Amino acid sequence: MRWDCFVLLSLGERRKKMTGSKRENCLFVILMWIMVGLFTNSHAQGTLAPPGTPAPTMKTLDQLEPRIPIKEAPFEIKEPGSYYFTKNLTNASITSPGITVNADNVTIDMCGFTLTGLGLRNQSGIYQSDSYHSLRILNGKIMAFQGTGDIAGIIAVGKSNRIENIQTFSNQIGIASGDSSVIIGCTAVDNLDLGIYAGSGSVVTQCASRNNADDGIKVGEGSTISGCAVRSNQGNGYDLDKGGVIFNSTASFNNYNGIMTKECCTITNCSTTYNDLSGISVNRNCNISGCISDYNETNGITTGNYSSVTDCESSYNKLDGINMKNGTKVMHNIFCQNGSVNVGGAGIHVDQGSYCRIQGNQVVENFRGIYIEGAYNITIQNTLAVNTIGISIDANNHTGTLSSLPSGSGVGTTDPWANFILYSP
């Protein structure tokens, strides 16, 4: 038996005979023996001195992603990889773009630097042909690459490219990218042609395009634009090919339409103001909802056949609040102060169309409230007030009762399809 165990047993027998302060003294002795036993049975842990000079244990950025510096222009990329600018660069060549990308899977980080051309040299800033794909360009400014033909700050016509946080200024075209591209957080200002172009199936988001000599932002079939702002471009603010989607975007002071689309497009929660043609102009089979279109030089909204316009506000436009063709549905909108005695115009205008449904709209202070040219359209449950000409409808159309409100609190009719005239001058 170990000595410390023997002592504990012996002390345990004695404990039975002890009381008061003697017992407390005995407990103190027992605790001391336990501590001594633990100490004497512990093992040494070795020296705490380091074996040598501490060495770094983390990998450098180049070890994680080896990067190749771009120190001059022109510069050709022939291998996949990650490349980066080390300073501002100027391309004085008349035979080569600033950077030519002849490889797939390339990243170019401009690191906040600027790539500058010398004006009319017929060369682009960064060029990728359609033979390559998956180019990423980010974090820089590209300016003064001009000429005839397809010349741009960035012209990257391969597929699946991504362009982020790039400023383009005073180029021929600002940015042109191929199909299935993503362009995010970019600006295009004072370019001599298009501001931003993306091919079919692309996404353009959080971009701004201003004072360009053609359209602000133009996209191919089935593309999406969101969170963008275009202003004072000499073409359309936005130009969408068929099947496109645009939402949460603004267009103002453009020389053509604020938003122009081909067929089968969707426009949601956009604002178009002070454009020289229509605020929104769409081809057939389009859906427009939750938009504002005010102070445009022709119509607030112009639609092709078989479209839908709901929950919009279109006011103070020189001609019509909305001008529509065949089979269009116009419901739950507000049209105020469109048209004038000098130029005509109406809050709602069916322009030689048929089979349209006009329901539940607020039509106030327009030159004409509702003007229907065509046949077999239905007009129900609208509210009109203070229009110079309330309703002007051709023969062979279908209209709910025109009910002027009586004095008192009633509505003056039990017809559930009635159109209400609150006040007519």
Query: 74-84: per-residue pLDDT in tens?
Result: 999 999 999 99
Q: In the 8-state DSSP scheme, what is residue 30?
A: H
The pLDDT-based confidence of 14 (bands split at 50, 70, 90) is: very low
The pLDDT-based confidence of 403 (bands split at 50, 70, 90) is: confident
pLDDT of residue 410: 75
Global pTM reads 0.84
Residue 354, class by beta-carbon neighbours within 10 Å (0-12 exposed, 13-18 middle, 19+ buried)?
Answer: middle
- At residue 4, does pLDDT exceed 60? no
Residue 302, class by beta-carbon neighbours within 10 Å (0-12 exposed, 13-18 middle, 19+ buried)?
Answer: buried
Q: Per-residue pLDDT averaged across 39-46, rounded?
A: 51
Asked if residues 360 and 407 have their Cβ atoms less than 8 Å apart, the reply is no
pLDDT of residue 28: 60
- Token pair 């200002």 in the structure block, residue: 189
pLDDT of residue 412: 74
Query: Which residues lie across from 350 on neighbouring strands?
Result: 324, 372
pLDDT, the chain, mean = 89
pLDDT of residue 7: 39
- At residue 119, does pLDDT exceed 70? yes
Asked if residues 296 and 319 have their Cβ atoms less than 8 Å apart, the reply is no
- At residue 43, does pLDDT exceed 80? no
pLDDT in tens, 342-373: 999 999 999 999 999 999 999 999 999 999 99
How many C-beta atoms surround the C-beta of residue 255 within 10 A? Answer: 17
pLDDT of residue 316: 98
pLDDT of residue 32: 62
pLDDT of residue 411: 77
